[in-house]
Every structure is written in structure tokens, then in C-alpha cells.
Chain A
Amino acid sequence: MRNTIQEIISGAYSLAVGMKITICNLFRPTVTLHYPHESATMPARFRGHVELACDPETGKPKCVVCMACQRACPSGCISLDGQKSESGKGKVLTAYSLDFSLCSLCGLCVESCKFDALRFSKQYNLAFTRREECTFNLLERAQVKK
């Protein structure tokens, strides 16, 4: 009997404490972002989808078409093509496509690139209605950006 009464009282007290905690939080500022109006800033190392880095002087992609990224990709979502450059030295990138529907954002391609020609974009609002839209033409994107 005594235990029961004790339990009722301590239980009621614990419930009152719980309600006090929630009511205190009612007056604290919210912690969530108001999404469409505000959005989070991505840290420098954020792994978004990849994009081509351009040489700041020439404005051309730094890529030398060594195919290392294509080989490193576990999902096989990168395909690129190049042709001999006019000056005769090295290759020039002619096509770079990323199949985002396959990409798992692991970042191995960026790690494999010895020429810093690939980097992560900070874009994270990526949603598509058609499958074809998932295939990015990175060369075009790099030129548009410039």
C-alpha cells in the first residue's frame, strides 16, 4: 500500500518534470531552418556531384583525359571522351557525362584525379522527373558557369 502511494506520487512528480521540460522548450527559439526561404550552407568538403574545374587563365577544363576517374568509379557512371589537341601536345576534352542515377557520391573520382580537374559541386537540391535528366553533361555545365 505504502509502495503504491509512493509510486503514484513519484510517478506524478516525474510527469510534472516532463511537462516542465516541454513547456520550457516552447519558449526557446526554433533550431530548424525555414527551408525554402533559408538553406544550409555546405561545408568546403561537401561531396556533391562532381563538376569540372577550369583553368582560371584559359577558362578551359583542366582535364587531360587520362581516364583515371572513369577507372576509379565503382558504379561506372562516368564516361568521357577526348581528341588530340591542335598543338599536338596531350588531349582535349570533348565530352564528359555523369550518370547521376548511378552515382553514389563516394568521391573516389576526385581522389583519383592527379590534375585537380574534378571537384565537388555544392548543389544538393537535385530532383528529376525523367531519367534522362539524370545524365549531366559536365563539359556544358562548366562552360555555362564560366
Chain B
Amino acid sequence: MRMEFVLEIARVVLYVVGILAFVGFNASYLVLLERKGSARFQLRHGPTEVGPFGLIQPVADAVKLLCKQILIPKNVDVILFFMAPILVLLPAILCMVTIPFGATIAARNFNLGLLMVFAFAAFNVFGILIGGWASHNKYANLAAARVVAQNIAYEIPTLLIVVAVVMVTGTFNLQEIVAQQAGGFWRWNILRLDLNPLQPVAFLMYFICLLAETNRAPFDMVEAESELVAGAYTEYSGMTFGVFFMAEYTNIVLGCCVATVLFLGGWQCPFGLVPGPHWFLLKMYALCFTVIWVRWSFPRVQFYNLLNLSWKILIPVSLANIILTALMLKVF
């Protein structure tokens, strides 16, 4: 009894430290990947000075952000102003709890893991809204209003697509969803055409929703630097801005993790050999790279076209996807 209790405590501490480290590492090194990647896309060098190939640059960035003064403008609602970055970052970290990195590596194996992920992920928009509102800045207010409309519009297709996947898998347990996809890449959900011929389209739509949910270009209404200066983050400086930044990348990692689990077979190997966390990370980082790649390829979508895309294309198609899945399940 006591032994189990101690082990449980040790497990909790281990996973808390592990997830925090994972989030911190990703947030800082994805920034570096973004800077390096964007530089190479644009035929530039990117950071090279701090450490070999600029590898210690994130440390320098973090030190810089920590040392900077946090400016609190006049008329700001101080409590909400500081709450906002935390409200954005915390849910993303919480969601990491359910992600199965390997057959035995998951902080908590919930039966309703998928539901928890989407419940907490919806918090993200709340934080940005509060931040934009509390800043008492017109640019920030406008951006915050945009973000709410955007995230609500994209929450719906995301969930509809996920519902279709859940209908196929029959479970909300992420570990089980991965386990069902064992045996080779043709068993992954993205290629289960026997269950639903629209599955690759569903994955593509999920990816678009992922970009929009995480406010990434070409859907970066929250920043829209050429229109709204820095959008909802206009008044944030120093580490408060740094936390928003971390949250952005954490949300990307989380979205890519979920996409990997739902569609790309999680930690399963494409050829049925040596499954394990390395496959999970490989797929996840490939998706992260694609997110960055998309950002540096396209201009920003207009605000109303973004909503049009969601309401007029993504939602009808994802509804059709659900009906098709249901039919396929019933008929075959």
C-alpha cells in the first residue's frame, strides 16, 4: 500500500517534470526551427551566432525575454492582463497529460482522453480574448474579437471531423485509438478507405482547422502584424509576451500530437517494425514542420474568407463525412 503510494507520487512528479520539460523544449526549439526554416525558405542564414548553427539561440532569447521590463500600460485591467497568458498556456500543458507518446509512456490513460483534450483546447481562445480586452487597446480589442469568431468557427469542423474518427474507432481513449492502428501504414486512420473513403480529406481538413485553431498563418488573425500591429499581443512585453509565444508553440505541438494519434497511427511504425515513441516524435515533428512550411508560403487570408471557408466548405464537408462514415459502418 505504502509502496504503491510512493511509486504513484514518484510517477506524478516524473510526468509533471517530463511534460513541462517537453513543453519548454518544444516551445524554445520550435521557435529556432521556425527561424531557421523561414530563413532557409527565403535563402537567408537565420540565427548562426549563438552556439554552433545557432543552437543555443533559444537560451539567449529566453534570457532576453526574462530580463526585459514588463510594461503595464495605463488603464489596463492588471489582473486580467496577467491572467491571460497563463490562461492560454496552462490548458495546453494540461492536455499533454493524455497524449500517448509510446505504448507505456502516457501520463494518464483516460477513457475520455480525447474529450478532455478538446475541452481544454477550447480555453485557448478565452485567454486571448481576455488579453485583448484587458489591454485597453483598439488593435488588441479588434484582434480579440476576430479570434473569438475564428476559433468558434473552426472549433465546429474540428469536432465534427473528430466525431467521425471516433465513430470509426469506437473509443475516446487515445491509447486504444493508437492500438487499433497497429500493423502498418495502411491500417492508419488516414488510409482506412474501407471505413470511409473521405478519410484523407478529413485529415487535410483537420490540418486546416489545426492551423486556424492555433492562430497560425495563413489564419493568424490574432497577430495580423500588417493590419493590427501585433493584434491581441500589442501591449504585452517581456515574459508576458514570451508566455503567449510559448503557448502558441505548445498549442501547435498539441495539435500535431492529436493529429498523429488520430490519423497517423501514433507511435506505430509504418511497416510494423519496432513501434515506439521515436515514430511518434518523427510524425509529430514532420507535422510541425509542415505548419511552419505553410506559414512561410502563403499570404494571410481575409477575415471573412476565413469564416466562409469554415461555414461554407469545412462544416458541410465534415457533416457529409460523418454521414458517410455512419453509412459505411451500417452497410458494411
Question: Which stretch from B38-46, B72-80, B260-268, B270-278 is at the chain A interface?
Answer: B38-46
Contacts of A8 in B (CB 8 A): 313
Complex Cα distance, B42 from A21, in Å, reads 11
Question: Which stretch from B88-96, B176-184, B229-237, B289-297 is at the chain A interface?
Answer: B289-297
Which B residues have a C-beta under 8 Å from some C-beta of A? 37, 39-45, 48, 293-294, 296-298, 313
CB distance from A132 to the nearest CB of B (A): 32
Give me 17 A-to-B residue pairs in the complex whose CB atoms sit less than 8 angstroms apart, sorted by A's number.
A4-B313, A18-B297, A18-B298, A19-B297, A21-B297, A22-B293, A23-B41, A25-B40, A25-B42, A26-B37, A29-B43, A30-B39, A30-B43, A30-B44, A31-B44, A32-B45, A34-B48
Q: Is the CB–CB distance between B293 and A23 below 8 Å?
A: yes
CB distance from A99 to the nearest CB of B (A): 35
Contacts of A19 in B (CB 8 A): 293-294, 297
Q: Is the CB–CB distance between A25 and B41 below 8 Å?
A: yes
* A contacts with B: majority SS: helix
A68 located at the interface, meaning its Cβ lies under 8 Å from any Cβ of chain B in the complex: no
Q: Is the CB–CB distance between B43 and A31 below 8 Å?
A: yes
The listed residue (A23, A25, A34) touching B43 by CB distance below 8 A is A25
Please give me the 3 A-B residue pairs with the lowest Cβ-Cβ distance, nearest first.
Answer: A22-B297, A31-B43, A18-B297
The residue on B at minimum CB distance from A36 is: B49
Which A residues have a C-beta under 8 Å from some C-beta of B? 4, 8, 15, 18-19, 21-23, 25-26, 28-32, 34
Complex Cα distance, B290 from A23, in Å, reads 10
The listed residue (B37, B45, B293, B298) touching A30 by CB distance below 8 A is B45
Complex Cα distance, B41 from A22, in Å, reads 6
Contacts of B313 in A (CB 8 A): 4, 8
Q: Is the CB–CB distance between B43 and A28 below 8 Å?
A: yes
CB distance from A80 to the nearest CB of B (A): 43
The residue on A at minimum CB distance from B317 is: A8
